[in-house]
């Protein structure tokens, strides 16, 4: 038994977060205790830190944030057979009910009873240890680092978006918004064999990162005519698939002008406004398919398998690394350093 105390970063109200000592959780018979080595800061974590809520999810009790993690199994419950002490694992952060229509049909990301880490009232994992049902643990091959294990979570969003949009090797893909989700969607696209990948973002660092990660071109929607440039770059053929990950209302509306007739648009980024006006006439006239994406389902296992044999590079997007004790500085970096940071990582067991 790993009984004792551990450190956890607890947020009690917006802008108030501090490391405190709490009990190390004890795994039930179907659970494992994970020593957390690496955990990312997500846009949603920053949003809870700033506003204390996202839509209908409101922080009412002190909460531990963080849901993008990998670590080592250090204890297992009596009925756990799929992982053992010493295994390095990635953690899929949404525990679903298992018996609703959505769960049974494989679309468990739509389960109404999901308990998702760091979504109130469920605690996340900016802590030294966490317990999870062992079904949600995925063994990392020796070739994958804990960092890559943690990045499987945001990668999964892009992976799922490409599954929704039925990405093909010969797609001419445009990814709008080159934050962690957009950049990792570009890496996921490599797993689908897509080789022609364009990106747009107003932040120079993000465009440079996209080029470093093998995007075909990265355009600045504030400084150039994206539609014209894409026509040039594709030899007049046009974009067949868009993954919209900016959540910017104008960028969302513009996707209909940027995709070619018969193309597909997958909407990932959540807009900050209630309604986004869309040119439905053009959507109908062009037989454009539009999809929404909410998190992901059944992505961890196939993504781990595909990553082992690909040239995708995820770790490059990590620009900042912090110990758990420096959580406040880490979250402030993710919140304010938009021009210089992409993915900020926390290391709860950093010596
Ligand atoms: Zn996330
Ligand atoms: Zn369910």
Give the H/E segment covering residue 138. strand 137-139
Give per-residue pLDDT as tens, 113-147: 999 999 999 999 999 999 999 999 999 999 999 99
Mean of the pLDDT values across residues 247-251?
Answer: 96
Q: Which domains does the chain have, with CATH numbers?
A: 5-139+314-347 (3.90.180.10), 157-292 (3.40.50.720)
Give per-residue pLDDT as tens, 90-109: 999 999 999 999 999 999 99
- Which of the ligands is closest to the CA of residue 99? 2
Q: Is the pLDDT of residue 343 over 70?
A: yes
Ion ligand 2: residues, Cβ under 5 Å? 96-97, 100, 103, 111
- Which of the ligands is closest to the CA of residue 124? 1
- Distance of CA 32 from the midpoint of ligand 2 (Å): 21
Residue 351: pLDDT band (50, 70, 90) is low
Q: Is the pLDDT of residue 1 over 70?
A: no
Instruction: Enter the pTM of the model.
Output: 0.96
Cα dist. 271→44, 207, 251, 253, 266 in Å? 13, 21, 10, 11, 14
End-to-end CA distance of the chain: 22
Q: Is 209 helix (H, G, I), strand (E, B) or coil?
A: helix
- The label of the residue with tokens 């659970």 reads 31
* pLDDT computed for residue 350 by the predictor: 81
- Distance of CA 144 from the midpoint of ligand 1 (Å): 19
* pLDDT computed for residue 230 by the predictor: 98
């Amino acid at each position: 038994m790993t009984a004792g105390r551990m450190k956890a970063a607890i947020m009690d109200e917006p802008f108030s977060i501090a490391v405190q000592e709490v009990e190390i959780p004890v795994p039930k018979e179907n659970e494992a205790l994970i020593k957390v080595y690496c955990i990312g800061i997500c846009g949603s974590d920053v949003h809870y830190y700033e506003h204390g809520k996202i839509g209908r999810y409101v922080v009412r009790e002190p909460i531990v944030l963080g849901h993008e993690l990998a670590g080592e199994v250090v204890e297992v419950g009596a009925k756990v057979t799929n992982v053992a002490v010493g295994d390095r694992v990635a953690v899929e952060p949404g525990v679903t009910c298992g018996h609703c229509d959505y769960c049974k049909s494989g679309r468990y990301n739509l389960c109404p009873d999901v308990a998702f880490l760091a979504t109130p009232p469920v605690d996340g994992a900016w802590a030294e240890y966490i317990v999870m049902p062992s079904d949600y643990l995925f063994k990392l091959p020796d070739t994958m680092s804990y960092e890559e294990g943690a990045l499987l979570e945001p990668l999964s969003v892009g992976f799922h978006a490409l599954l929704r949009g039925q990405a093909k090797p010969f797609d001419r893909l445009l990814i709008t918004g080159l934050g962690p989700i957009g950049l990792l969607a570009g890496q996921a696209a490599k797993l689908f064999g897509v080789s022609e990948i364009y990106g747009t973002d107003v932040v120079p660092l993000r465009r440079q990162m996209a080029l470093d990660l093998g995007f075909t071109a990265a355009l600045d929607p504030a400084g150039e005519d994206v539609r014209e440039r894409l026509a040039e770059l594709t030899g007049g053929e046009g974009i067949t698939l868009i993954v919209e990950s900016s959540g910017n209302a104008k960028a969302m509306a513009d996707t209909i002008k940027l995709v070619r007739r018969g193309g597909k648009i997958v909407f990932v980024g959540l807009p900050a406004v209630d309604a986004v006006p869309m040119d439905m006439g053009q959507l109908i006239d062009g037989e454009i398919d539009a999809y929404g994406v909410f998190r992901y389902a059944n992505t961890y296992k196939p993504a781990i398998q595909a990553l082992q044999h690909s040239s995708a590079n995820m770790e490059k997007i990590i620009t900042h690394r912090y110990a758990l004790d420096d959580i406040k500085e880490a979250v402030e970096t993710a919140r304010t350093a938009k021009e210089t940071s992409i993915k900020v990582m926390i290391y709860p067991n950093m010596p």
